[in-house]
Amino acid sequence: MDRQLVGVLAVLVAVCAVAAVQAQPPSPKLPPNYHMINPGHMGGKRDQQLSCDDTQGKKKGCMAKCDKRCPNQCIVMCPSCKTFCMCDFYPGVSCGDPRFTGGDGNNFYFHGKKDHDFCIVSDADLHINAHFIGKRNPTMSRDFTWIQALGIRFADHRLYIGALKTAKWNSDDDRLELAFDGAPVDVPAELGARWESAAVPGLTVTRTAATNAVRVQLAGVLDIMANVVPITEQDSRIHNYGVTEEDSLAHLDLGFKFYDLSDDVHGVLGQTYRSDYVNNLSVSASMPVMGGAPSYVVSDIFSTDCAVARFGRRAGISMVTGRAN
């Protein structure tokens, strides 16, 4: 399998957001037994009834419950009702207290630092920074951190994807903020609604749910799934995250798919796609952690001044050269 094909979740979300969807963004045909559920939309319940088609006619339906790592959204495989988080499906996913799956297939954490920005992918024609929010636990030596926003640079353009600070979480309220070259990107709050850039052919934003979930595609370059999720009171109580009534710590769960990274790519996640990448993390540890944060820190969400920056090393290259496969 091509190491840059980061998996299938982005496509699954696009075609299976709800089993009864009428209009969906175009995507390749996939097995019919995958569905996306979003617990919490109906009365805040974590268990959501999902009717699964059983080709053998032995089951009429089942009760699916998302894993505690992804309580607000998960993939369900019918008819077994086995559930998966986004970060179980393919390399490039950030899930929770930022957990990544590298291009080499190994999971790792990168905690960064709250209220700081870090370059997670830096290549000659593409640069992606992440802004971290967090809470300090006085019993620990580090912050609890989550990715609140992405700043994406390509050619002379800037794309922003962020979660708005939210006090009391309501999944029916859209807390996703999008901007392209400084102008807001307005996408109607409807499943399948689509925005296309007039300035950049091949740049689209498609809603994969009516609120808080989008698929961002730049043809031939990247495919990003972004979902705004909160830290729930239950999770906060279990892990001592310190959620308050003033801040639900809304953040992004993210999935990445890249089509044309060079072998010089770097960044927290990007380096794992290099052919010469050597994983020196303790993969047998329960929580392998990537250190070296100073090498990845940038001065703001769109800056390309991290120590490992590669952006702009090749000049005169068109960013959108073809359609994604």
Using alpha carbons, select from 98, 93, 112, 105 the residue that is nearest to residue 306.
Answer: 112
* Integer angstrom CA distances of residue 61 from 49, 54, 57, 77, 285: 8, 8, 10, 12, 38
- Residues 149, 60: Cα–Cα separation, whole Å: 41
Structural tokens at position 284: 């047998």
Using alpha carbons, select from 166, 149, 87 the residue that is nearest to residue 112.
Answer: 149
Task: Please tell me the predicted confidence (pLDDT) of residue 300.
Answer: 97
Domain residues of the chain, as ranges?
29-85, 87-295
Task: Please tell me the predicted confidence (pLDDT) of residue 87.
Answer: 57
- Residues 53, 174: Cα–Cα separation, whole Å: 31
- Residues 144, 187: Cα–Cα separation, whole Å: 32
Task: Please tell me the predicted confidence (pLDDT) of residue 322.
Answer: 35
Measured over the CA atoms of residue 201, residue 202, residue 208 and residue 211, the dihedral's sign is: negative
Task: Please tell me the predicted confidence (pLDDT) of residue 218.
Answer: 97
pLDDT (tens place) for every residue of the chain, 325 residues total: 444 433 333 333 333 333 323 333 333 333 455 666 666 544 344 455 555 555 455 555 666 677 766 666 677 776 666 776 665 554 555 555 567 777 777 777 788 889 999 999 999 999 999 999 988 766 666 778 899 999 999 999 999 999 999 999 999 999 999 999 999 999 999 999 999 999 999 999 999 899 999 999 999 999 998 999 998 777 777 777 777 778 889 999 888 889 989 999 999 999 999 999 888 877 666 678 888 899 999 999 999 999 999 999 764 443 433 333 3
- Residues 89, 255: Cα–Cα separation, whole Å: 9
Q: Write down the pTM of the prediction.
A: 0.73
| Other CB atoms within 10 Å distance of the CB of residue 140 | 9
Please compute, for residue 156, the number of CA atoms within 13 A of its CA located in the half-sphere on the CB side. Answer: 2
- Residues 25, 45: Cα–Cα separation, whole Å: 28
The b-or-e profile of 253-285 (16+ CB within 10 A means b, else e) is bbbbbbbebbeebbbbbbbbbbeebeeeeeeee
Task: Please tell me the predicted confidence (pLDDT) of residue 318.
Answer: 39
Task: Please tell me the predicted confidence (pLDDT) of residue 98.
Answer: 62
Structural tokens at position 80: 């077994």
SS3 letters for the chain?
CCCCCCCCHHHHHHHHCCCCCCCCCCCCCCCCCEEEECCCCCCCCCEEEECCCCCCCCCCCEEEECCCCCCCCEEEECCCCEEECHHHCCCCCEECCCEEECCCCCEEECCCCCCEEEEEEECCCCEEEEEEEEEECCCCCCEEEEEEEEEEEECCEEEEEEECCCCCCCCCCCCEEEEECCEECCCCCCCCCEEECCCCCCEEEEECCCCCEEEEEECCCEEEEEEEECCCHHHHHHHCCCCECCECCCEEEEEEEECCCCCCCECCCHHHHCCCCCCCCCCCCCCCECCCHHHCEECCCCCCCCCCCCCCCCCCCCCCCCCCC
Task: Please tell me the predicted confidence (pLDDT) of residue 74.
Answer: 72
Task: Please tell me the predicted confidence (pLDDT) of residue 2.
Answer: 46
- Residues 191, 129: Cα–Cα separation, whole Å: 27
